[in-house]
A and B are shown apart, each in its own frame.
Chain A
Amino acid sequence: MPENTPNPESPAPVEPEEIRVGVYTCHCGGNISHVVQCERVAKMVGKLANVAVSRTDPSFCSDAGQAIIEQDIKELGINRVVIGACAPSLHEQTFRGAVTRAGLNPYLYHHVGLREQDSWVHASDEEGATEKAMRLMAAGVAKARLLDPLDPIRLGAEKQALVIGGGVAGLRAALDIARQGIRVTLVEKSPFLGGRMAQLESIFPTDEKPRQLLHDLIQAVTAQVGITIFTQAEVTGVSGYVGNFSIQVTQHARGVSPEMAEALTAACTQETPDPFNYSLTRRKVIYQPYPGCYPAAPAVDWQHYDGQPIQVNGKSIVLQDDALVHELIAGAIVLATGFDPYEPRQGEYGYGELSQVITLPQLIRHMALVKNGETLTWNGHPVRSAAIIHCVGSRELDGVHEPQADGQVNNYCSRVCCTASLHTALEMRQRFPRLNIYELYQDIRAYGRGHEEIYRHTQNAAVRFVRYHGDDGPKVIAAPKGDPYPVLVQVKDYLTYGEEIEIPVDLVVLAVGMMPRQVDDLVNMLKISRGADRFLLEAHPKLRPVEMAVRGIILAGTAQGPMNIQESLAAASAAAAKAASLLSLGKVELPPFVARVDPAKCNGNGACVTACLEEGAIALQTFVENGVEVQRAVVTPANCTGCGACVGACPNRAIDVQAWTLAQYDAMVDAIAMDWPELVEVEK
């Protein structure tokens, strides 16, 4: 028990310094100053107590703008900085850098958002926007006066990463991370690696064989030192923080030993719809999805196995799922959980009601089952005419399309389906030259390198294009008895000024969009965010495009949004670079926004400990003060998330979150609430 030891968290006594605030109101190249009268704001703020200098500039984030701030710090003795500019998420780090370069502690700077939250939303009220800027900047100054210098929290980081998802993005990310000398555990839910790419037959824009490409990638992954692969595995528990996540992985058994695999597979009679072929065919519950898959050994589909014994050589064998639990540590987690094709609703364009309506992924699998030289048939009949309808489950409109189960419509473009449809149409043309092919589209979004060429080739390959409007889409109906074709597609063609046409077809193909895979469990465990489109959300679309807001969690591939293979791989390599740069030093720095106890005010009542839900973040410890044993709250910064539950609970205001203190909020409230006479007075 420490004797007369001050609480380890008590700040060392410092000489009181004169607070000299430098205030910088940015025009943002006119983005702010077109609405907010920046000079008036600067003049008003310049008159507030402790403000030593108040300036404006066309662009403080430019090198020249930053140099002004740095010079003021060095030459005018500025020791607190307030910058009113664009959103802090864009340039807070830039200005922290400038402040640090000038020799000031980076946390003696406060950022006020005057663009997204002022000039851009009050363009019709310049006076109101200017008053708002004055009050927000005054609040910034009020906070800055109470800022303390802080140091980031430095923690050791495990040089190990976890990659969740073994599709093309997860495989690429795992390989790139391991090549930087960081150990990787790759966790794949299904028994086989490769994800959705393995279900394709020929891929745009290069016409390469996807399973061959996957084979090469998987070979590189399995040959790479430092990668451990768990298939049929899922993350079932996560705790900790960047640099030191503790992870529990539950792995199902493969179910059949290598010696028995062949005999058991041959003897197994139980079948289930084959998800590899999108239920167009059936397969056994002991299975390999395709020849050449990895791992090569068959696996048991535990979800569908009915538990009945299988008879092999006179023996009755019941398959057992002896699941294993692995505990591991990782400094960073890469999420590469991929996508699912949109599943149309019953009756959507006749899906589920007319047997001639299928999805594009189903068509790709169906064509893979048709041998070269054979005719394309469906339901045992030759296909003479087929219509591909674009944007099914994408670009949906509120009030026009029926919402999903969660009440939302998929209003995003799935980006991949246009080129995938055109590419498939071209393949159909090549393999089945007599087929009539129609593409019913809203807009063709063939945006990548080589995609426009595919569009042009398709146009030149006697594929007919019909353009519909999103609020007036095609209708798919059964043709009257006796018609030569079983299905009619009725659509208003806007290429011929809204002419109503009826296309008789044998097959309707729905170019379904991409939906994020169901990862609710991971979202809850990792406390991560999804966007309005339900895909996993990056911290910032431009500045932090593969990192999530929770530090140490990184996105790769279509878990983040619709992407083609090239984009998925680029994202995966970016994710790997982020993970490697985070972990390569063996330590991470966290912002110091954690709770801090004022031992002079703490009376050890423990309300903070009760309020805190984070394990190991705060506890009461016994100290001896002046010969008397006392209890004081002590924070473990590495476990504290900075939520402030303890702050709200403390009756003595003895605890605060560093840089976000209650006193600072009170001061900001006072500045915002300032009455007119006071504001006008300072403005004069």
Chain B
Amino acid sequence: MAHSDKPKQPKILILATLAGGYAGADATGQVHLDYPANTYILPVMSPVMFPPEFFLRAFERGIDAIIIMYSGTDSPYKVEADGTASLVNRTYTLMKTRGIDIRRLRLAAICTVCVKPFLKEVNQMADLLKGIGFVKDEITAPAAAQAKGA
């Protein structure tokens, strides 16, 4: 199918820690288990580096869902478990003010060999997007204008 004929797919961004989710995604690849291709995995040292505005900007640019695959309490970074949970909660508050369904942002602890949990998270989010559609149809207030540094 040529690109132009292809129905537009929602996009799932996965921010995956090198010490956890990114290696978990590689482990899933090593056993050749299929999951939807509209998933874009970016490695991160730790998700605590992202301010809430980063997520709002990403949604505004057209990323329909974001899964943070972090290492939770197994993280090599002291700050990761609590810091990421707090970050996600602050982001949820801002998402609500923009009318963005907070289910579009998910936090999941994924370890280096967590193949099944990885697939579960990705498939659940893909299924959710089938139901709730594109983020651009949902955003009620411009995020980027208010986001610092955007």
Binding site for B on A (CB under 8 A): 87-89, 113, 115-118, 120-125, 127-129, 131-132, 135-136, 139, 527-532, 537, 549-550, 593, 611-614, 641-645, 647-649, 651-653, 657, 660, 662, 665-666, 668-670, 672-673, 675-676, 679-680, 683
Docked-complex contact B4 and A660, CB < 8 angstroms: no
User: Which of chain A's residues have a CB closer than 8 A to the CB of B76?
Assistant: 527-529, 549-550, 641
User: Which of chain A's residues have a CB closer than 8 A to the CB of B26?
Assistant: 87, 89, 113, 116-117
Determine if B36 is an interface residue (Cβ-Cβ < 8 Å). Answer: yes
Docked-complex contact A645 and B48, CB < 8 angstroms: yes
10 closest cross-chain pairs (CB), A and B: A644-B49, A116-B29, A128-B37, A643-B77, A673-B62, A647-B49, A120-B29, A643-B46, A116-B26, A122-B37
Docked-complex contact B57 and A660, CB < 8 angstroms: no
Docked-complex contact A537 and B112, CB < 8 angstroms: yes
8 Å CB interface, B1-23 against A: 1, 3-4, 6, 8-9, 11, 13, 19, 23
Docked-complex contact A127 and B54, CB < 8 angstroms: no
Known: A653-B148, A673-B62. A527 touches B25 (CB 8 A): no
User: Which of chain A's residues have a CB closer than 8 A to the CB of B29?
Assistant: 87, 115-117, 120-121
Mask, B116-150, CB within 8 Å of A = 1, is 00000000000000000000000000000000111
Residue of B at shortest CB range from A674? Answer: B62
* One of B79-87, B92-100, B101-109 at the interface: B79-87
> How near does chain A come to B114, taking the closest CB pair, in angstroms?
8
Residue of A at shortest CB range from B122? Answer: A121
- Contact partner of A643 among B37, B39, B49, CB < 8 A? B49
Report Cα–Cα, A185/B8, bound state, in Å. 61
- Contact partner of B51 among A88, A116, A648, CB < 8 A? A648
Mask, B36-79, CB within 8 Å of A = 1, is 11111111111011110010011001110000000000111111
Report Cα–Cα, A2/B31, bound state, in Å. 57
User: Which of chain A's residues have a CB closer than 8 A to the CB of B35?
Assistant: 121-122
Report Cα–Cα, A665/B16, bound state, in Å. 13
Report Cα–Cα, A673/B58, bound state, in Å. 8
Docked-complex contact A662 and B33, CB < 8 angstroms: no
User: Which of chain A's residues have a CB closer than 8 A to the CB of B87?
Assistant: 648
Docked-complex contact B48 and A643, CB < 8 angstroms: yes
User: Which of chain A's residues have a CB closer than 8 A to the CB of B6?
Assistant: 127, 131, 676
Binding site for A on B (CB under 8 A): 1, 3-4, 6, 8-9, 11, 13, 19, 23, 25-26, 28-30, 32-46, 48-51, 54, 57-58, 61-63, 74-80, 83, 87, 111-114, 148-150
Residue of A at shortest CB range from B19? Answer: A549
Docked-complex contact B13 and A669, CB < 8 angstroms: yes
User: Which of chain B's residues have a CB closer than 8 A to the CB of A675?
Assistant: 62
Docked-complex contact A666 and B45, CB < 8 angstroms: no
Known: A123-B34, A125-B37. A529 touches B111 (CB 8 A): yes
Q: Which of A647, A648, A668 gathers most chain B CB within 10 Å? A: A648
Docked-complex contact A665 and B54, CB < 8 angstroms: yes
User: Which of chain B's residues have a CB closer than 8 A to the CB of A593?
Assistant: 45
User: Which of chain B's residues have a CB closer than 8 A to the CB of A676?
Assistant: 3-4, 6, 8
User: Which of chain A's residues have a CB closer than 8 A to the CB of B75?
Assistant: 527
Known: A549-B19, A593-B45, A676-B8. A669 touches B50 (CB 8 A): no
Report Cα–Cα, A663/B150, bound state, in Å. 9
Residue of B at shortest CB range from A128? Answer: B37
Report Cα–Cα, A487/B79, bound state, in Å. 56
Report Cα–Cα, A385/B58, bound state, in Å. 70
- Contact partner of B11 among A614, A644, A672, CB < 8 A? A672
User: Which of chain A's residues have a CB closer than 8 A to the CB of B80?
Assistant: 643
Docked-complex contact A669 and B49, CB < 8 angstroms: no
Known: A128-B38, A532-B111; 16 extra A-B contacts, CB below 8 A, are A89-B23, A89-B26, A120-B32, A121-B28, A124-B34, A125-B37, A132-B38, A532-B113, A643-B80, A645-B49, A647-B50, A652-B148, A653-B149, A660-B49, A672-B63, A683-B3
User: Which of chain A's residues have a CB closer than 8 A to the CB of B49?
Assistant: 643-645, 647-648, 657, 660, 662
Report Cα–Cα, A662/B149, bound state, in Å. 10
Could you name 16 residue pairs across A and B whose Cβ atoms are closer than 8 Å?
A89-B26, A113-B26, A116-B29, A125-B37, A127-B6, A527-B77, A529-B19, A531-B112, A532-B111, A532-B114, A613-B79, A643-B48, A645-B83, A648-B50, A676-B4, A676-B8
Report Cα–Cα, A20/B44, bound state, in Å. 25
Docked-complex contact B78 and A679, CB < 8 angstroms: no
Docked-complex contact B37 and A132, CB < 8 angstroms: yes
Report Cα–Cα, A531/B74, bound state, in Å. 11
Report Cα–Cα, A531/B44, bound state, in Å. 20
User: Which of chain A's residues have a CB closer than 8 A to the CB of B77?
Assistant: 527, 641, 643, 645
